[in-house]
Structure formats: structure tokens, C-alpha cells
Structure 1
Amino acid sequence: MAEEAEEKPRITVIAYSRDDFLSRKVSSMKEVLEIEGYDVVWANVDTVEAVPEIMEALNIHDRPMKVLRRASTHARVFVFPDYLFLILHQVYEIDGGLKRERIGLLLKDNLVVTVQEIQGDVFDPIRESIREGEGLFRERGADYLLFALLEAIVENYVPIIERISSKMESLEAQILSKGEKGVLHRIHGLRREILFMRRTIFPLLEAFRKLELEGERFFTEETQSYMGELHDHVLEVLEILEGQRELANSLVELYYSTISMKTNDIIRILTVVSTIFIPLTFITGLYGMNFRYMPELYWRYGYPASLLAMLAIAMGMLAYFRKKGWI
């Protein structure tokens, strides 16, 4: 019996009113529904394997739950006569990359249910505020809690985007100072992360718009004023991402421009060296023909004079190139 209990999905319940608070772990949704006497009940489920049990206990439609269990789903909002169901994505940085996790949020009467793929989320500040009685949570209903959960998910995108910006600034400095080959690979990696974040966040615009228009009856007038801020916040995040995408593209152009400039510098130096050696090669070739009647061949100072002449030509050409600003 103990092994069967351990296999059941872990459900964490937080129930609260203005002056009361309850936090406990239960093993089934039936236990959640038995909790009474609180204004708001929040059940957090750590696995999507509990979906069938949630459907049966709450008597909800199977369509949103099927969508939640699909790995390729994007942000969605389902509005039914007596409840709301939303599907969003939490994003985490893992092993230098980004990972996306589906999360379902259900609002029905005074009950909020969050269903996650794995244990761990971005809601700890909300739990702490409810526990300590901070903010408006104890004074508002379940609709305000749903808004706060949505806002926490969107807010979590911001530090990830800021770290991407910081990485791009660092890469820009490396390009200007060194222009290493590995920099281009890292730029393309950041571009993939930006596209990953954009694909995750962009569907939220339509989802929050639908929530604001069709889910109006599920929110009090006070909470409705906050819902518009969610849509605006997503727009701001997308604008930041668009700026980062343009910056990433400009970094690629800057990288190639830097490489091109360095290549031009190398070619210019090689051209100068080659140009200096043209007259020197001519002189050595001329006297390397070894014709019998070349008067300088039997001159005592012919060899040092030739060397001095070639040195003078080389120095003169170097001075001329420097004056022209070519080196």
C-alpha cells in the first residue's frame, strides 16, 4: 500500500481566506474538493499523468486536457460556461540552453488548479506572499490568483531575455577585440534562443486577448483592469526580443565586417612586402644571369654596392608607403 501511495501524483494545496491559511499535500483531487471554509483553494499538480483524475473529479471537458498532454502544443485558452482552462509554457535555463515546460491553469468557482510536467515552477514568491499575508491575495478571489500566476510566468521570461542581452554585449566586445571563430557559433546559438523565446511568447498575445474578451465573466471588475496589463506586458517582451533579434543579425554582420577588415589588412601587408621585393628580385635576377661581360662582376665593391642599393630601394619604398598611409 505504501508503494502505491508513492506512485500517486503529488498535489500541493494552498487554501486561504482573509484570516485563514492552509497548506498541505494530498494524494488525490477528491481530497482537494473536500477542503471547505476558504475563499480560494489552489491545487498544484506536479505531473500531467494526473489529467484523467482531474477530468473525472472536476467533470471538465477532455479537449483541453488532450491538448495539454501534447508535447507540441502552444499557448491556448479554452473558455467554457463554468470554467476557464489555459495552457502556457514556463521556460528555464538548463545546461547553457533553454527548456520549455507546459503548464495548465484551470479556474472554476473558487478553485485554481495548476498542472505541470515536472516538479518546480516560478510561483514561490506567490506562495510566500499568500503565506505571509502580503499584497492583495488574501483580499481578492481566485480570479486574482490566476492573474498573478499568469503574470509570474510572463515575468520569468524577462531575466532570461536580459541574460541573452548580456551575452550579446559580451560577444560584441569579443568581436571588436579578437574576432574569434567560435564567436560566430555562439551568436547563432543566441539567435536560436531568441527564436525559441519568441515562438513561446508570441501565442500569448492571442491567448490573453481571447481571455480578456471571452473570459470576462470569470473576473471581477478589479481583476479585469489587470488583465489588460498582461497583454501589454507580453507586447513589451516581444518588442525586446525583436530588438535582440536585430542585434544578433547586426552582430553577424559586424563579425563578417571585422573578419573582412582583418583580411584586408593582411592582404595589404602582403601586397606591400611583395611590392618591395619586385625591384629587389629584378636586381638579383639580373645579376644572376652570369653573362661573361658584365662589368660589375669583377668590380671589387660590386656585391656590397648591390646590397646597399637594394636596401636603399626597400627603405625608400617603405617610407613612401608610410607617407601614403598604406602601412
Structure 2
Amino acid sequence: MVEEAGEKPRITVIAYSRDKFLSRKAESIEEALPVSGYDVVWVNVDTVSLVPELRKALGIHETPMKTLRRASGRARVMVFQDYLFLLLHQAYEIDDGLKRERMGILLKGNLVITIQETLGDVFDPIREGIRKGEGLFREHGVDFLLFAILEAIVENYVPIIERISSQMEELEARILSRADEGVLHRIHGIRREILFMRRTIFPLLGAFRKLRLEGGDFFSEDTKPFIDELHDHVLEVLEILEGQRELANSLVELYYSTLSMKTNDIIRILTVVSTVFIPLTFITGLYGMNFRYMPELAWRYSYPAVLMVMLGITLGMLAYFRRKGWI
């Protein structure tokens, strides 16, 4: 949902410790940030229009904010002395395909700030787990919350990939039963979606590798193994995408192979029909030359005899073709 003119950006604040929890909305960055007495504070901003205010309030470098506001920015990790900045992309399914949305994530002290382009995200299970005290959220610090946010973004790619796999299975069955141009159009659409997802996910490999190597000081020893799993998870997703890309290419080959086989069937049938009519055309042509002296024409049974000969030739040729397996 695009932010409407005049609509105030939505800012939500979630703060928690092992034995207490706070959730509220704020009207401005200045109102959202002063939260004390909690181990972890998570501020979510549903617009990039407040980036200048965030930069001013937190005293962070200009480069991360410029990266976030740039529409063509790739996923990346920036490590500074006292804070981390990550740029990632959420992926959503819409009516006419897939949509990608930039998301900035800032980790500083006990504070995590997520900055989104529009309202709506994939973090409701995290919010619910924090509110109910489920899982490991209340037992760990802000670094575990950052991991959970990153994991949720990666996990959200999986249903999209599973849907693509399901569509390709349906297309394979359709190709084998009845291939048409609509099938080929859908295959090319799926190939574009696979390429879209690969362009979205592939930069995460480098980003998470840098997070492990250069951002280790921001994570406790208990959380570091989870960060290591992120890189492996992304690698697994990319391997699935690569398999899907190869399968999509195979579907194109299968489509053209099936089309070629059907064309060959048609040509074979037309060839059989043409071959059968060659001797019949010869006979009818012979007796259509209007020669004056053709003794058999005076025979009373010449006409049915010729028809029987033509029928015998036809049946004989069809039987021969069938025995050869041509029809």
C-alpha cells in the first residue's frame, strides 16, 4: 500500500526485557526513540521519508541513508564503529507478478530500527513471539532480534519459490497432454520470476558473508551460529532457484519437442494419405484420358471392377503401412 498524500507515517515501537514488554505507536522519530528500562528496543518506520530525521536523531553517517533512498540499491552490509546498517529487499506476490521492496535495518546499542518503503511486512510472527514471550526472543539480546528479522525476510522467499515449483509441475503435465502457445507464455513468465528472485537473493550471499566476517563484534557467542546459518540458508535457496531455472529451460525444450512430435505425426498422416492416393490418381487419370479405343470400357462390369481394384489397392497399402508401424 502506497502512502497517501497527507497521511502520517506509521511508527511502531516494541520494547522488551525478560519479564516485561511494551508496544506503542509514535507520531514522530523524536517520540519513538526515548525508550529506557528495556533490554531491546525495536522501532519500525513504514516510510523512507523520515530518513533525514533518523539520521539527525541518531547521528549516523550519510552514506547508509543515501543507499536506502536509492531505488536501485543492492543488498549490502555497512559496518561502522558503533552501529550496523543493512539494506535488503522483501519480496511479495501481487496480481501481475512479483514486487520487491527495499528495507533498511539499523543496529545500534540495544536499538533496532527497520525502515520500509510501504506499510506491511513479514514480521508479524516475530511481534507475536515477543508479545507472548515465546521462543528465544526474551532470552536473548538485540543481536538475536536482528537475526530473527533477517531470517524472516529469507524465509518469506520460500513460499514464492514453492509456488513457482508447483506451477512448473502443472505446466509439465499440461505440455504432455496439450501444449499450446499459452503454455509457452507461462513458462517465459516463470523464467522471469526466477530471474527476479535470483537478482533479489544473490546479493545476500555477499552481504551475510560480510556480516559474519566484519560484524562479529555486534553479536554474542550464542547468536553467531545463527548468523552463520543465514549464509547457508541463502545458499540453499539459491541452489533451489538454480534447479528451477534448469527445469524451466527443460520445459521449453519439452514444449518444442512435443510440438515437433505432433508436427511429425501430422506429416506422417498426410504422407500416408498422399501415398494411398498416388495409385488411385494414376488409375483415374488413365481412364480419364478419353482414348477412343479402350476395349475394357465396353465391358459391362468394368466400372465396378475398377472400383474394386482401387479399394483393394487402398486396403492393401493401409495394411502394409500398419504392419510397418507407420500408422
With the length of structure 2 as denominator, give the TM-score of the two structures: 0.97
Tell me, in whole angstroms, the C-alpha distance in 1 between the residues paired with 2:218 and 2:273. 79
Question: Per-residue displacement from partner, 1:173-196 (whole Å, max 9, x unpaired)?
Answer: 000000122100100000000000
In the other structure, the counterpart of 1:36 is 36
Residue 196 of structure 1: aligned partner: 196
Distance 1:96 1:9 in 2: 27
1:238 corresponds to: 238
Do residues 303 (structure 1) and 284 (structure 2) align? Answer: no
Alpha-carbon distance, 1:299 to partner: 1.6
Counterpart in the other structure of 1:293: 293
**Deviation, structure 1 residue 96:** 4.0
Q: Report 1:171-210 matches (<5 A).
A: 171-210=171-210
Displacement of 1:297: 1.8
- Where do 1:1-327 residues align within 5 Å? 7-327=7-327
Q: What does residue 3 of structure 1 align with?
A: none
Cα separation, 2, equivalents of 1:185 and 1:290: 57
RMSD: 0.8
Output the amino acid matched with 1:199: R
Which residue does 2:3 correspond to in 1? none
- Segments of structure 2 that go 5 or more residues without pairing to the other structure are 1-5
What is the DSSP-based 3-state SS (H/G/I as helix, E as strand, rest coil) of the residue aligned with 2:168? Answer: helix
SS at match of 1:303: helix
Shift of 1:67: 0.9
Q: Which has the higher helix share?
A: 1
Q: Supply the distance in 1 between the matched residues of 2:108 and 2:28 (Cα, whole angstroms).
A: 17
Structure 1 spans left out of the alignment, 5+ residues: 1-5
Residue identity matched to 2:163: R
State the 1:136 CA deviation: 0.8
Name the amino acid aligned to 1:294. Answer: M
Taking the aligned partners of 1:133 and 1:100, their CA distance within structure 2 comes to 31
Counterpart residue type for residue 275 of structure 2: T
- Equivalents in 2 of 1:299, 1:181: separation in Å? 58
Give the Cα separation in 1 of the matches to 2:8 and 2:177: 56
Structure 1 residue 266: Cα displacement: 0.4
Once residues 27 and 83 of structure 1 are traced to their aligned partners in structure 2, the CA distance between those partners, rounded to angstroms, is 25
Distance 2:71 2:183 in 1: 32
Task: Tell me the TM-score normalised to structure 1 length.
Answer: 0.97
Distance 1:80 1:9 in 2: 28
Amino acid at match of 2:227: M
SS at match of 1:34: coil
- Cα distance in 2 for partners of 1:116, 1:268 equals 61
Amino acid of the residue matched to residue 27 of structure 1?
E
Structure 1 segments of 4+ aligned residues over 6 angstroms from their partners: none
CA–CA distance in 2 between the matches of 1:219 and 1:9? Answer: 31
The CA deviation at 1:256 is 0.4
Shift of 1:318: 0.2
**8 Å contact from structure 1 (residues 174, 180) kept in 2:** no
- Distance in 2 separating the partners of 1:296 and 1:190: 69
C-alpha separation in 1, matches of 2:185 and 2:33: 52
In structure 2, how many angstroms separate the alpha carbons of the residues matched to 1:234 and 1:112? Answer: 22
| Secondary structure of the structure 2 residue equivalent to 1:98 | strand
Q: Which residue identity is paired with 2:299?
A: W
Q: What one-letter code is carried by the residue in structure 2 that aligns with 1:182?
A: G
Deviation at 1:107, TM superposition (A): 0.3
CA distance in 2, matches of 1:314, 1:188: 46
Question: Is contact 1:32–1:43 with CA below 8 Å preserved after alignment?
Answer: yes
Question: Deviation of residue 283 (structure 1)?
Answer: 0.2
Q: Is the 8 A contact 1:40 1:110 kept in 2?
A: yes
- Name the aligned partner's letter for residue 69 of structure 1: R
Offset at residue 33 of structure 1 (A): 2.2
Shift of 1:10: 1.4
* Structure 1 residue 78: Cα displacement: 0.6
Q: Distance in 1 between matches of 2:92 and 2:307?
A: 70
